[in-house]
């Protein structure tokens, strides 16, 4: 697997201009409620996102005001990035006196947002897809079922149908990001590949201490959008924090040039 060492960068704008075009850096990261291997890795992960010069981050496994974590984690995380970041949280389920779910943060203002409640098998955890539209792109954050391939395929079908209905003829790129709990050769990825293009590096993202599986992705809907992938990588090292201890997943990112 490639090893990536990222130099410290400063976050100056929501997107960077490259020869009159716009560069967007999108990150997919399962943060494990910011406490998989440490009591609180939120500041470390915020530092890593600054170092990466991220513009939009899909965040899986978040607590909200429950007995495990009493705070609204996504709001705290967005504020650590800066007061200029927007965020949306989707509660997948009520849990332990509060909520648990998926979210996203963007440096661009959010114009519109909504949630897609996904089907689940009997006895499985409910899942949700959180979608935010900005002036130049759409970001959808999702965490698919970890127990059943059949359920994952049904979830992929529903979110694809919904996003195609809304954005299938749009000129805005639509990025689907998150922990899909599916490997590149799985039925889930084959199904998604009928309507989406996988943009992200297929290098292993899980587990962070000895990565063996690629289960975290960034995809783009096959609509009328024009863009170019400039770079993609799985982050395995950072100057600002220990990536291995920040979560049990590694973050994956994609640099897209918007045309």
Q: Cβ neighbours of residue 16 under 8 Å, at least 6 residues apart?
A: 22, 23, 53
Q: How far is CA 158 from the centre of its chain?
A: 18
pLDDT of residue 145: 96
Q: Highest-confidence range of 59-68, 86-95, 114-123, 245-254, by mean pLDDT?
A: 245-254
pLDDT of residue 13: 38
Q: What are phi and psi of 13, to 5 degrees?
A: -155, 165
SS3 230: strand
- Cα gap 171→63, rounded to integer Å: 34
Please determine, for residue 48, whether its predicted confidence score (pLDDT) is greater than 50: yes
pLDDT of residue 10: 30
Please determine, for residue 6, whether its predicted confidence score (pLDDT) is greater than 70: no
pLDDT bracket for residue 11 (50, 70, 90): very low
Q: Which of 123, 108, 130 shows the shortest CA–CA distance to 60?
A: 130
- Cα gap 78→74, rounded to integer Å: 6
Cα first-last separation, the chain? 31
pLDDT of residue 20: 58
Mean model confidence pLDDT for the chain: 91
pLDDT bracket for residue 220 (50, 70, 90): very high
- Cα gap 217→123, rounded to integer Å: 26
pTM for this model (two decimals): 0.91
């Amino acid at each position: 697997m490639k090893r990536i060492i990222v130099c410290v960068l400063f976050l100056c704008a929501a997107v960077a201009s490259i020869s009159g075009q716009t560069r967007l850096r999108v990150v997919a990261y399962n943060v494990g409620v910011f406490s998989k291997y440490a009591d609180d890795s939120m500041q470390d992960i915020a530092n890593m996102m600054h170092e990466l010069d991220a513009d939009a981050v899909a965040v899986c496994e978040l607590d909200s005001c429950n007995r495990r974590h009493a705070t609204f984690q996504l709001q705290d995380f967005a504020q650590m990035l800066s007061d200029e970041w927007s965020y949306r949280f989707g509660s997948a389920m009520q849990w332990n006196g509060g909520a648990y779910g998926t979210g996203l943060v963007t440096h661009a203002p959010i114009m519109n947002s909504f949630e897609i409640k996904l089907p689940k098998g009997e006895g499985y955890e409910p899942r949700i897809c959180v979608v935010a539209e900005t002036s130049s792109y759409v970001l959808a954050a999702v965490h698919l079922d970890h127990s059943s391939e059949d359920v994952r395929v049904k979830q992929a079908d529903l979110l694809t149908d919904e996003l195609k209905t809304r954005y299938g003829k749009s000129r805005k790129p639509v990025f689907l990001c998150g922990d899909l709990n599916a490997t590149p050769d799985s039925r889930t990825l084959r199904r998604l590949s009928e309507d989406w293009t996988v943009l992200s590096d297929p290098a292993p993202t899980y587990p962070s201490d000895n990565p063996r599986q690629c289960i975290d992705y960034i995809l783009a809907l096959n609509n009328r959008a024009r863009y170019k992938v400039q770079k993609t990588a799985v982050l395995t090292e950072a100057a600002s924090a220990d990536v291995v201890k920040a979560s049990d997943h590694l973050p994956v990112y994609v640099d897209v040039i918007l045309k």
